[in-house]
Structure 1
């Protein structure tokens, strides 16, 4: 069975609607043998990443950067996992109040270091969360999960 890991920092109910949409989309592939594993960024481990065939990251944009929780995940898993994650499909979502530029650059740089392969268009936006954002997040989650069924 293939495994999709969804690692995110969603500290508020409003932000959890984004991660819920990603998971809803990803679960469309469960009937095709894809197991969905969800983990808060502060709880996810190197072992979780090593056991995943694909990954979706989610974060807030805080002070122009990814959340400290997701940065901690990257900091504590990189050395142990980056050689094994090369080529694995991934995507991400980033939500900010005003600006996501620094967070986007960080996500691109970090995931390049892991050697991950972008499998679906990231969902990156600022401001209010609306139905269109949630639909894009659901589609992104489904797209990454379905790469594991091919």
Structure 2
């Protein structure tokens, strides 16, 4: 049975677009067979997308010590409509943080706790100046989440 992985990632720059594409590439690894991957910008995603997925990967920039306004809008529109329906949803997060990412991580963790989603690993915080190895880290995160979903671990 095919399972669905939803990637909701804010990608306002060429580098964050590389991260979003890396998440998709990892999730679509050839060894992972029964996963359908959908990628949406936060302003395009909503409750129906969450209802139809079996796991979710969130990606955001750090904006003034908080998540992107677009990801916050996604949560604002989706929180109550899916609150009772998707408890236990496997999730993961990556944050492109120009500083330390602490406030962004805490804000997303607070919402995810309220939704009662299940973290499959600690949030990935990509701190400070841009490094090309961020791309590989996000690709691995996408692959890990998709492989775990495909194998029934999540």
Relative to the length of structure 1, the TM-score reads 0.94
Hey, what does 2:96 align to over in structure 1?
95
Distance (Å, rounded) in 2 between the aligned partners of 1:70 and 1:29: 29
Aligned to 1:107: 108
For residues 17-56 of structure 1, what are the structure 2 equivalents within 5 Å? 17-28=18-29, 31-56=32-57
Unaligned stretches of 5+ residues in structure 1: none
- Map Cα deviations across residues 102-136 of structure 1 (whole Å, 9 max, x no partner): 10100111111111111134220222332322211
Moved more, 50-59 or 97-106: 97-106
Alpha-carbon distance in structure 1 between the residues aligned to 2:17 and 2:129:
13
Contact in 2 for aligned 1:85/1:116 (Cα 8 Å): yes
Structure 1 stretches of 4+ with a deviation exceeding 4 A read none
Task: Give, in whole Å, the separation in 2 of the partners of 1:30 and 1:37.
Answer: 18
Deviation digits for residues 28-53 of structure 1 (CA, Å, limit 9, x no counterpart): 16851100000000000110011000
* Contact 2:43–2:73 (8 Å) recurs in 1: yes
Residue matched to 1:8: 9
Q: Give the aligned length.
A: 150
Q: Which runs of 5+ in 2 are unaligned?
A: none
Counterpart of 1:149 in structure 2 is 150
Contact 2:32 / 2:147 at 8 angstroms: preserved in 1? no
User: SS at the partner of 2:29?
Assistant: helix
Structure 2 residue 75 is matched with structure 1 residue 74: yes
CA RMSD of aligned residues (A): 1.4
How many angstroms apart in 2 are the aligned matches of 1:149 and 1:125?
26
Once the two structures are TM-superposed, the CA of residue 101 in structure 1 deviates from its matched residue by: 1.1
TM-score (norm 2): 0.91
Paired residues of 2:32 and 2:150 also in contact (CA < 8 A): no
| Corresponding residue SS for 1:43 | coil
- 2:128 pairs with 1:132: no
